[in-house]
Chains A and B, each alone.
Chain A
Amino acid sequence: MDTNSNVYTFIYSSILVVIVAILLAFTAVQLQPLQEKNIRIERMQNILKSVGIIATVENAEQLFKDKVKDDFIVDLAGNKKTGKGFDVKMKTQSKISLKIMKLNQKLLKASGKDKEALSTKISKLQNTLELPVFILENEGKSYTVIPLRGKGLWGPIWGYVALEKDKSTIFGAVFDHKGETPGLGADIAKEWFQKQFKGKQLFEGKDLVSITVYKGGKGAAANKGDLTHGVDAISGGTITSKGLESMFKSSWLFNYKSYLKK
C-alpha cells in the first residue's frame, strides 16, 4: 500500500488522533475519583504535619477527624461565616485576594468617580472572600492552622502554617508546589527549608509584619539581624522565595489580620 498518498495520510492521522484522544479521556475520567481522593488525603496530611503529626495515607482521615476540633470560615473583619474551611476552594480565594491587591494599587492612583467605582468593586470582592481556619489539638495544646496560597515561578505554591495559642508564634509550616524547579524553588517542600519557620513571630507588638525572606544563602536572615521574622531564601530560587513571602504578606496572610488580632 502507498503510505505516502494524501488519502492514506489523512485517514492515518485521523484514526491515530481519535484513538489517542479516547484512550486519554477514558483513563482520565476513570482515574479521577482516585486522584481526587489522593489530593484530599494529602491536604489532610499536610494540615496534620504543620502541627507535627505525621500521618500515613491509611490513617490520615481518622487522625484528621480526631485532631481537628474546629473547622470554619472567617471574613475580613474576623467574624465567622457559615461553612466548613476544608471545603473552601483556595484557588478561587487566592485569585480574589490577588485581584483585591491589584485594585487597591489602582485605587491609590485613581481620583474622582473612578475612585468611587473602584472602592465599591473592592468592597464587593472583599465580601465574597472566605478565609478558612482550622483549630487542631495535639498533646493537650491547641493550634490555629491557616492555609496559604500564592504564586511561584511556574505555577501555584501553597502551604499550611500552624500558630501557637498567642496566634503569633509559628509552631510549624508545610509548603508544597505544583511545578517549581527541582533542586531550586522546589526545595520549599523540603524539611530544611520548612523547619526555619518554627518559632518565628507573625506580630511585632500590635503590627502584623509576618515573615520576610532574605536572599544570600544560609544565614542571610541572621546577617540582616532579623531572626524573629526572617528566614533564608533558597539560592537560585529567588522568584519562588519571593512568591512565598508575598503569600505570607499582602497577597494572602494579611487578610487574616482582624481574625489574628482577636
Chain B
Amino acid sequence: MSNKSLLTGPINLNNPITVQVLGICSALAVTVKLEPAVVMAISVTVVTAFSNVIISLIRNTIPSRIRIIVQLVIIAALVILVDQVLKAFAYDVSKQLSVFVGLIITNCIIMGRLEAFALGNKPFPSFLDGVGNGAGYGVILVMVAFFRELFGSGSLWEIQIIPDSFYEMGYQNNGLMILPPMALIVVGVIIWIQRSRTKELIEAN
C-alpha cells in the first residue's frame, strides 16, 4: 500500500466505523453534540498515531502470547501520561478531556490498528495508518453528531439553529436523538448510503 492510500483509505473504503466496525461504543457516547465529538476525534487520532509508532518500534521484541496486554499497558500509560501533563500545564484542556481519557483507552480502534497494522509494519507507515484511521473515525463522528445535535437540541456547536418561531408553532426537539440508540440508527443509515454508493463495498451475493 502506498503512503497516500494509508491516509485516505480509512476515510472511505476502509473506514474504521462503517467498514471495520470498530469504535462504535465511543461513537454512541460522545456524539450528542458536535463539540465533544470533535474533541474525541482529535484525541483518538493523536493516541492512535503515537501508540502505533511505539508498538511498531518495539514490534520485534514483543512476545506474541502477551502482545495484547503489552499494547494495553502502552496505550493506558500514554493516555494517563498526557492527561497528567495537561492537568499540570493546561488545566482547561485537561478538564475538557477528563471523561474522554477512559473512553480513549478502551477505544477498540486503537487496539484494532495495533493488532492489524503496527505489529507488522515500520514506524512511519504505522504513524500514517494511525492518523488516517483517526481521521476516518472523526469524519463519521462529526456526521453523526451533526444530525444528533441539530435534531436533538436544535443547535450546532451550542449555537441555536432552529429559530424560536418554529418552537412557537409547535416544533419540538426529538428526544430520541439524544439517546444512544439513535446514534446506532444514524450510523446504520450512513453505512447504507456509503455501501449503495461505493461499488467496491458491495458484496457479490
Return B80 CB to nearest CB of chain A, in Å: 6
Please, how many angstroms separate the alpha-carbon atoms of A31 and B31 in the complex? 32
Task: Choose one: B66, B73, B84, B175; the contact of A28 (CB below 8 Å).
Answer: B84
Q: A9-B66, A235-B175 are in contact. Are A38 and B36 (CB under 8 A)?
A: no
- B122 interfacial contact with A, CB 8 Å: no
Please, how many angstroms separate the alpha-carbon atoms of A185 and B129 in the complex? 34
- A3 interfacial contact with B, CB 8 Å: yes
List residues of chain A with CB within 8 A of the CB of B87: 31, 35, 38
List residues of chain B with CB within 8 A of the CB of A108: none
Q: How many A-B residue pairs have CB under 8 A?
A: 94
List residues of chain A with CB within 8 A of the CB of B99: 154, 179-182, 186
A13 touches B33 (CB 8 A): no
Return B155 CB to nearest CB of chain A, in Å: 10
Q: A182-B33, A183-B33 are in contact. Are A31 and B84 (CB under 8 A)?
A: yes
List residues of chain A with CB within 8 A of the CB of B84: 24, 27-28, 31, 35
List residues of chain B with CB within 8 A of the CB of A235: 153, 173, 175, 178
B30 touches A3 (CB 8 A): no
A4 touches B81 (CB 8 A): no
List residues of chain A with CB within 8 A of the CB of B66: 9, 12-13
Interface string of A2-21 (1 = CB under 8 A from B): 01100011001100110010
Please, how many angstroms separate the alpha-carbon atoms of A159 and B24 in the complex? 33
B178 touches A31 (CB 8 A): no
Task: Choose one: B81, B88, B100; the contact of A35 (CB below 8 Å).
Answer: B88
Please, how many angstroms separate the alpha-carbon atoms of A190 and B33 in the complex? 13
List residues of chain B with CB within 8 A of the CB of A16: 70, 73
SS class of chain B's interface: helix, strand, loop or mixed?
helix
A24 touches B63 (CB 8 A): no
List residues of chain B with CB within 8 A of the CB of A178: 98
Interface string of B149-170 (1 = CB under 8 A from A): 1001100001000000001000
B62 touches A23 (CB 8 A): no
A24 touches B80 (CB 8 A): yes
Please, how many angstroms separate the alpha-carbon atoms of A42 and B77 in the complex? 27
19 A-B contacts (beta carbon < 8 Å): A4-B65, A9-B65, A12-B61, A12-B70, A16-B70, A24-B77, A24-B84, A28-B84, A35-B88, A182-B33, A182-B35, A183-B31, A183-B32, A183-B149, A184-B32, A186-B36, A217-B172, A235-B175, A236-B178
Give A contacts to B, CB under 8 Å. Answer: 3-4, 8-9, 12-13, 16-17, 20, 23-24, 27-28, 31, 34-35, 38, 42, 57, 154, 178-184, 186, 190, 217-218, 235-236
Give B contacts to A, CB under 8 Å. Answer: 29-33, 35-36, 39, 60-66, 69-70, 73-74, 77, 80-81, 84-85, 87-89, 91, 98-100, 102, 149, 152-153, 158, 167, 172-173, 175, 178-179
